[in-house]
Amino acid sequence: MIEVNNLTFSYPKNSTPTVKGINFNIGKGEIFGFLGPSGSGKSTTQKILYKLLPNYQGNISIKGQDLKSWSKEFYQFIGVSFELPNHYLKLSAVENLRFFSSFYQNPIDSFEELLEKVGLKEDANKRVANFSKGMKMRLNFIRSFMHDPDILFLDEPTAGLDPVNARIIKDIILDLKSKGKTIFITTHSMYDADELCDRVALIINGNIKAIDQPETLKLKHGKNIVEVQVEGQNEVLSYELNHIGQNQDFLNLLANNNIRTIHSKEASLEDVFIKITGESLV
Ligand SMILES: Nc1ncnc2c1ncn2[C@@H]1O[C@H](COP(=O)(O)OP(=O)(O)O)[C@@H](O)[C@H]1O
Ligand SMILES: [Mg+2]
């Protein structure tokens, strides 16, 4: 669905490029993530992909067609959720949705179901000026998928949300994936990247340092051991995971002791990020 080759971008007044020759592809039905700290170039890359920043170098093809040759029709099949919600504060939630949906070919008759999905049904006719940040973000999120686009660009969709609201958004993202949508998200949360992404790109200072499935990255960069603590002992024992079922010491330990804790030691995505980039995610 999306192919990016050798993409480089500089903001006019900056001396160094913000995006430095990056390459990635996103397949149909995939959730692909950019995981990186603030300022690494995530939003800039997305803005290039939805044609907000036209002066880039490199090649971008979306649905098999060069991005530069797509007409306005492009916006019919993509959906965008900006990092910061931008609503008309004097209008109600429904009025905002009605206004933004008027740009699309097929009118949307009822917003009730959409508002209910994100827990805003009761607030449909309230002015957005009186909404909390979480409410504004959920309303913003509806705008990314209300016109049933094939490709979604979601910039930090859960940033700053409390766990309940973040859960609502993540469940909708997973539901959109189950409907075959192609989803490109940015995040600096290793938990979101881990839970949502089929593949994740680790991005820092405008460079992609690795692209892989979260599971593969964690296994590749973690330790292949289990650590066990038995009741009454402070010592942490460790055993090679390979052929652990034939390791008589390990089996005896399980048979003859009460186990307090037992953990395999795959890395977290944050560990992987630090190992590969030398920097942390915050
Ligand atoms: N409009 C702009 N003009 C100049 N520099 C910008 C602009 N927008 C972003 N930048 C710079 O580009 C870099 C990457 O920003 P951004 O893509 O927003 O990162 P991220 O989304 O990963 O936090 C930052 O150093 C930021 O200061
Ligand atoms: Mg950003």
Using an 8 Å Cβ cutoff, are 231 and 257 in contact?
yes
Ligand nearest to the CA of 154: 2
Q: Answer whether 114's CB lies under 8 Å from 148's CB.
A: no
Say yes or no: 21 and 137 in one domain: yes
- Per the domain annotation, does 281 fall within a domain? no
Q: Which of 194, 187, 202, 200 has its CA nearest to residue 273?
A: 202
| The pLDDT value given to residue 105 | 86
Asked if the model's pLDDT at residue 234 lies above 80, the reply is yes
- How far is ligand 1, taken at its centre, from the CA of residue 117, in Å? 32
Q: Which of 198, 215, 232 is the last residue of a domain?
A: 215
Q: Give percent above pLDDT 70 in the chain.
A: 100
Is 161 in the same domain as 245?
no
Q: Is residue 133 located within the same domain as residue 52? A: yes
Q: Both 72 and 198 in a single domain?
A: yes
Q: How far is CA 254 from CA 75, 244, 259, 262, in A?
A: 59, 12, 7, 10
Q: Which residues of 213-230 are buried (b: 16+ CB within 10 A; e: fewer)?
A: ebeebbeebbeebbebbb
Are residues 251 and 149 both part of a single domain?
A: no
Question: 30-39, pLDDT tens digit by residue?
Answer: 999 999 999 9
CB of 36 shorter than 6 A to ligand 1: yes
Closest CA to 211 of 272, 281, 271: 272
Structure tokens at 257: 């002791």
Residue 128 is assigned to a structural domain of this protein: yes
Residues 211 and 251 in one domain: no
The yes-or-no verdict on residue 107 having pLDDT over 80 is: no
pLDDT surpassing 80 at residue 259: yes
* Strand (E) or helix (H) holding 167: helix 163-178
Do 150 and 11 belong to one domain? yes
Q: Which residues pair with 99 in a beta bridge?
A: none
- Asked if residue 51 belongs to a domain, the reply is yes
Ligand 1 atom closest to the CA of 13, numbered from 1? 4
Residues 50, 164: one domain? yes
State the pLDDT at residue 59: 97
d(CA 275, CA 93): 44
> Could you list the residue range(s) of the whole structural domain that residue 256 is in?
223-265
Out of 104-108, 124-128, 150-154, least confident range = 104-108
Same structural domain, 259 and 162: no
Looking at residue 85, its pLDDT comes to 84
Q: Are 227 and 262 in contact (CB under 8 A)?
A: yes
Residues lining ligand 2 (ion), CB within 5 A? Answer: 42-43
Looking at the fold, whether 229 and 178 belong to one and the same domain comes out as no
Whether 99 lines ligand 1, by a CB cut-off of 6 Å, is no
pLDDT digits (tens, 9 = 90+) for 23-81: 999 999 999 999 999 999 999 999 999 999 999 999 999 999 999 999 989 999 999 99
What pLDDT is recorded for position 160?
81
Helix axes 133-145, 93-101, angle to 10 degrees: 30
In a domain, 271, yes or no: no
Q: How far is the CA of 6 from the centre of ligand 1 (A)?
A: 19
Do 234 and 118 fall within a single domain? no
Length of the chain: 282
Mark whether 187 and 227 lie in a shared domain.
no
Atom of ligand 1 nearest to the CA of 34: 22
Domain termination residue (choose one: 215, 236, 255):
215
Looking at the domain assignment, is residue 238 inside a domain?
yes
- 228 strand-pairing partners: 237, 262
Give residue 86 CA to ligand 2 midpoint distance, Å. Answer: 15
Work out how many domains the chain is built from and give that number.
2
Q: CATH number for the domain including 53?
A: 3.40.50.300
pTM: 0.89
Identify which ligand lies nearest to the alpha carbon of 37: 1
